[in-house]
């Protein structure tokens, strides 16, 4: 039976990239009746320094973002990683399975550590082993993520395969990444070659889940474009990253394919298309920001949801960790 796991870091505000690449798809998965486990990965967030008060706020806001995006904490399991200690415990085992060379090849490590690798945290380097633990602790079969996580998921598969080989077992499943839809890589509104990111210094580069209608409209109006009209076929987006990005966003928000969108808007100028996109984005996004703001007035309820989610997650995780320890030879 399929079981879905995915996580998001509480490392700042949520963006339209997180919504289209992750949250919206999580809600779709849940609504297909597939067992789903969603985690606020606070242990991942601290691989770069986080202000403690901001981390706590971001964790609660992320939980509110999940719920406002349609994830029902009764149907799906919603929890924060640190409260299920089995994640850190299994990650240690995987630190001993994964090889230094594998980790050094990770592009996220290279990007985030930058030129000063000597000064990056050990946790940032080991990040993908913790991510493998997050997934394999639940024997998850499918992991919906954005394009940027593809390499980490391949590493998760390598860790599962090596563990199984090293110990002569068929214990951990080889997990499938699910990277699909029109918005697996939402780009910056200012630069079509950069991922839309919560850590971009320019707020104009992204739509935040907390933005109001005016902010959304302004950002789309000012989004970088080229002077050509929109093409009627996908091929016509070649070499036009900004145009492609806005069309992808439109397609994902309206649950259409890019082909369907272009059949409608092909030939239009951006002066006509941008207001259409803006109206669609405001219609789809403002109910989410309103609901997030409402939920954030009830922090004790959010905390209770996370606590209950952690208990449910532990019920699945703890026997899998116990079995892992037994395979490895840890005396009980």
CB of 37 to ligand AQP, least distance (A): 14
Q: How far apart are the first and last CA of the chain?
A: 30
Residue 219 known to be catalytic: no
Q: Is 196 in the site for ligand AQP (CB under 6 A)?
A: yes
Write down the least CB distance from residue 204 to ligand AQP, Å: 15
Q: Which is nearer to ligand AQP, 258 or 321 (CB)?
A: 258
Sole binder of ligand AQP in the list 57, 70, 139, 148 (CB under 6 A): 148
What is residue 37's three-state secondary structure? Answer: strand
> With 0-12 CB in 10 A as exposed, 13-18 as middle and 19+ as buried, what is 57?
middle
Question: Can residue 63 be called a binding residue for ligand AQP (CB under 6 A)?
Answer: no
Report 128-147 residues binding ligand AQP (CB under 6 A): 145-146
CA nearest 249: which of 16, 8, 14, 15?
16
Element (H, E) at 6: strand 3-8
Cβ–Cβ < 8 Å for 316, 85: no
Q: Does 149 bind ligand AQP (CB under 6 A)?
A: yes
Query: Does 9 sit near ligand AQP (CB under 6 A)?
Result: yes
Q: Does 81 bind ligand AQP (CB under 6 A)?
A: no
Contacts 24+ apart (CB under 8 A), 193-198: 193/241, 195/17, 195/148, 196/15, 196/16, 196/17, 197/15, 197/17, 198/11, 198/12, 198/13, 198/14, 198/15, 198/18
User: For ligand AQP, which is the closer residue by CB, 182 or 262?
Assistant: 182
Which span sits near ligand AQP by CB under 6 A: 16-24, 226-234, 287-295, 309-317?
A: 16-24
CA distance 159 to 157: 5
Smallest separation, CB 195 to ligand AQP (Å) = 4
Q: Output the residue with the shortest Cβ distance to ligand AQP.
A: 21
Q: Determine the length of the chain.
A: 332
Cβ-based nearer residue to ligand AQP, 8 or 261? 8
Q: Least distance (Å) from ligand AQP to the CB of residue 144?
A: 7
Minimal distance in Å, beta carbon 280 to ligand AQP?
A: 18
17 a known binding residue? yes
Least separation in angstroms between residue 264's CB and ligand AQP is 23
| 112 flagged as catalytic | yes
Q: Check if 195 is active-site.
A: yes
| Coil, strand or helix at 35 | strand
Other Cβ atoms less than 10 A from the Cβ of 288: the count is 21
Q: Which of 54, 162, 198, 224 is catalytic?
A: 198
The pair of structure tokens assigned to 102 is: 């594998």
Q: What is the DSSP string of 148-211?
A: GGHHHHHHHHHHHHHHHHHHT---S--PEEE--STTSSPBPSS-TTSB--TT-S-GGG--BTT-
The binding site for ATP comprises 9-11, 17-18, 146-148, 186, 195-199
Q: Show which residues are catalytic.
A: 112, 195, 198
The binding site comprises 9-11, 17-18, 134, 146-148, 186, 195-199
Chain residues binding ligand AQP by CB under 6 A are: 8-9, 11, 17-18, 21-22, 145-146, 148-149, 183-186, 195-199
């Amino acid at each position: 039976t399929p079981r879905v796991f995915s996580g998001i870091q509480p490392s700042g505000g949520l963006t339209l990239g997180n919504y289209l690449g992750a949250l919206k798809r999580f809600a779709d998965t849940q609504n297909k009746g597939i067992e789903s486990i969603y985690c606020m990965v606070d242990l991942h967030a601290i691989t770069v320094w986080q202000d403690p008060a901001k981390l706590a706020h971001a964790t609660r806001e992320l939980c509110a973002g999940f719920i406002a995006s349609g994830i029902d904490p009764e149907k799906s399991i919603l929890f924060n990683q640190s409260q299920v200690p089995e994640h850190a415990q299994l990650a240690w085992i995987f630190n001993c399975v994964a090889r230094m060379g594998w980790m050094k090849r990770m592009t996220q490590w290279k990007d985030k550590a930058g030129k000063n690798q000597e000064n990056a945290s050990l946790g940032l380097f080991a990040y993908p082993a913790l991510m493998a633990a997050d997934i394999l602790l639940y024997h998850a079969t499918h992991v919906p993520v954005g394009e940027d996580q593809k390499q980490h998921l391949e590493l998760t598969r390598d860790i599962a395969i090596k563990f199984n080989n090293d110990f002569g077992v068929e214990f951990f499943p080889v997990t499938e990444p699910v990277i699909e839809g029109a918005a697996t890589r939402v780009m910056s509104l200012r630069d079509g070659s950069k991922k839309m990111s919560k850590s971009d210094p320019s707020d104009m580069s992204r739509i935040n889940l907390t933005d109001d209608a005016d902010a959304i409209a302004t950002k789309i109006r000012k989004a970088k474009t080229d002077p050509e009209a929109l093409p009627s076929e996908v091929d016509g987006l070649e070499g036009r990253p900004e145009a492609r990005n806005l069309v992808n966003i439109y397609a994902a928000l309206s649950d259409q394919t890019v082909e369907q969108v272009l059949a409608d808007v092909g030939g239009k100028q951006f002066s006509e298309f941008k207001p259409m996109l803006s109206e669609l984005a405001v219609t789809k996004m403002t109910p989410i920001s309103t609901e997030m703001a409402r939920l954030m007035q009830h922090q004790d309820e959010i905390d209770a949801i996370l606590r209950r989610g952690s208990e449910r997650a532990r019920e699945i995780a703890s026997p899998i960790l116990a079995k892992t320890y037994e395979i490895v030879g840890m005396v009980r």
